Amino acid sequence: MSKPHPQIDAAVFDLDGTLFLGKTLIKGALETVAALRKSGVKTLYLTNAGTRTRQGVADKLAAMGFPTNANEVYCGSYILARYILDKHAGKTVFPVGEPGLSEELRRNGIGVDESGKDCDIVAVCLDRTLTYDKLGRAHVLLRKGALFLATNKDHIFPTETGTMPGAGAIVAALEFSSERTPYVVGKPNPMAFELMKAEHGIDCGRAVMVGDRLDTDIAFARNCGMKSALVLTGNSKKADIGDLKPDFVLDSIADFLKKIR
């Protein structure tokens, strides 16, 4: 093992827009993560996306060349499951999302009813199979008083060819129709850091969050007391930086090892 990194013991990486765009790796991502792991820096992955299970995200990362175990992944579906287990154990969920959301909830022993009959919770993430019928069932439950949870309110997500509507677009439709406000478990909510601390013992003062969004990644770092690095390969650009300032601004992940010393 080479010399430990002088500033950090842990690096937490956002995924889309930071390490890759869609199915395309961002130059330097594999090399940066490999170098950090070799030096003994704990590398974790944090995404608001809830469309895959924790294991599914780990499998995707491994297929792209990132050596990853599922317990190093913190995704929207897993964070949501942990929140429900902690705060609303025994409640039944109507999922507005893709199969990965329902699967992760079930893996954690949470009841899921995709018919939407008398569910206690409406849980929302990105759903590229969304139908008006599904939206309508969620609306009815929320108007009856079901708990409203969301993995995130990201308005867009980056792809190789530009941005697409994010989970926030679906959440907004239900907010408007039900006149309800959801509890959002994903970034910038610091809940994920509490899970990382419990499961990996990371110290906020010796950790850095690396991401492409000021409103989620950099705000998350601030809320957790972590260092932050904004990469300019995704949503936020240098001109967007205002009061919420990252500790480091990188053209891409390829600059991480040069800038964070």
User: Omega into 246 within 30° of 0, i.e. cis?
Assistant: no
Q: Which secondary-structure segment (H or E) carries 98?
A: none
Closest CA to 229 of 252, 200, 206, 205: 252
CA distance 137 to 153: 20
Closest CA to 213 of 172, 163, 175: 163
CA distances from residue 52 to 73, 120, 167 in whole angstroms, order as listed: 11, 23, 13
Buried residues in 7-27 as b, exposed as e (16+ CB within 10 A)? ebbbbbbbbbbbbbbeeeebe
CA distance 152 to 123: 10
H helices present in 98-246, as ranges: 99-107, 132-143, 167-178, 191-200, 219-224
Q: What are the residue numbers of the active site?
A: 14, 16
Render 115-136 in DSSP notation, one character per residue.
T-SS-SEEEE---TT--HHHHH
CA distance 5 to 261: 7
CA distance 4 to 144: 54
